[in-house]
Chains A and B, each alone.
Chain A
């Protein structure tokens, strides 16, 4: 991420907006930006990995083009005009200009975040199929090295998270909990690598955590026991006047069904986003002071880099903790939904 930062700022020294800069780096994008170079004649040149844009145009149906075209303002193709929105609720998102109005089309582009998700998924497939192959080849030997670490983590999730939190029916949920843990963990760690194949703020994107939390929601509620629903709608533990005539407690309990996954969603999103923002703020500080005077920028830079390094180390810890917390809380909520009458 740091490399990207330096490149980006160099090019836009004259009009530097910290807020725009920070959110530009935590936001999803259509291409995978690596750096921006300034040529001798002052012309800016973006260096980025182009990604496919897939949109359903209002008139032309499904369209498929490279993200390179979006770098210079609007892109016109077969009579359809596309550009990146400036609307504050969807900054940087692709819109189609239809009769002078911005319309958000169906957008299934392989964006930076989608690409990162695919990379993480591919990585996990490789890792777990290597592990599977190891067991098929030498069934009684424990894998060593990297695969050994993975095995230890798998065992940890199964034995320390799934079994104690869910109880006897834990086997149904282990595939989900293992996948979600490794998925979040991989994405968190990939997000800390400054350049491709890392650097995308995926788990700090609400869309991603929303999907993860929704899957958790499904797993929590779909296989829930009868007792669980009884506890929610009848609330046998609370006094009668809290249920009749106004069902305060059942209502609260019912809201709780949704707040649990909501908390999962917000926690992961906020933690990872905050981590990225802190990192970026330290970098931005250098340029804010650097614009006042170069020596001041250099002085602040030393401390900024030190602090950023410290935060980065903390982030490594946080990346693992947040993955663990998401998994653990999902397991706890699943366990709560499996209550049996004594």
Chain B
């Protein structure tokens, strides 16, 4: 069969053309292509890396922001708490002060009243004594007798005087 009998001419041409094609492509085409593809690949890889880094940074910034925000929030509530306590303290102090002042005023007032009452009692007693003396004088001037009822009255008056004085 001529099918299995390779033609030498075709073999030679094929070998020459194939090797030449391979040499030309290997020298001028494939290095350029593989270099370009490699560079592009590297660039894409770099871009991906940069993007990943940016994303990571963004995430960190987000975390930091949340942290700062949380801290501020905490501080705020702390301050509010303090203010509240301060307020309560102030109010309590004021209340206590007022209570003390009131008490003091009441004490003063009652002392004054007591003093005035005593004064009034003293005055009344003086008046009573004076009146008694007067009355006694009158009684002595008009009815200085041994009348028994008269005597009883005088005694009684004096007793009363003594008792109130003592």
Contacts and interface: CB of A to CB of B under 8 A. Distances in A.
Interface of A: 23, 26-28, 88-93, 106-111, 113-114, 117-118, 121, 124-125, 128-129, 131-132, 135-136, 139-140, 142, 151, 154-155, 158, 174-176, 178-180, 183, 205-208, 210-212, 214-215, 273
19 contacts: A26-B3, A28-B10, A90-B7, A106-B8, A111-B7, A111-B9, A114-B14, A128-B29, A129-B28, A129-B29, A132-B33, A142-B40, A175-B26, A176-B22, A176-B26, A178-B30, A179-B22, A208-B10, A211-B15
Interface of B: 1-15, 17-22, 24-26, 28-30, 32-37, 39-40, 43
B25 A139 contact: no
A125 B10 contact: no
Contacts of A132: 28-29, 32-33
Nearest to B21: A121
Given A111-B9, A151-B33, A207-B10, A118 B17 contact: yes
Contact of A124 (B9, B14, B25, B32): B25
A125 B29 CA distance: 9
B163 to A, nearest CB: 127
A135 B38 CA distance: 11
A273 B35 CA distance: 38
Contacts of B5: 89-90, 206
B28 A208 contact: no
Contact of B29 (A114, A121, A131, A215): A131
A174 B29 contact: no
B14 A89 contact: no
Given A88-B2, A111-B10, A135-B32, A175 B25 contact: yes
Given A128-B25, A155-B37, 18 more contacts: A90-B7, A91-B2, A92-B2, A107-B8, A110-B13, A117-B14, A125-B25, A128-B30, A135-B32, A142-B40, A178-B30, A179-B21, A179-B26, A206-B6, A207-B11, A208-B10, A208-B14, A215-B15
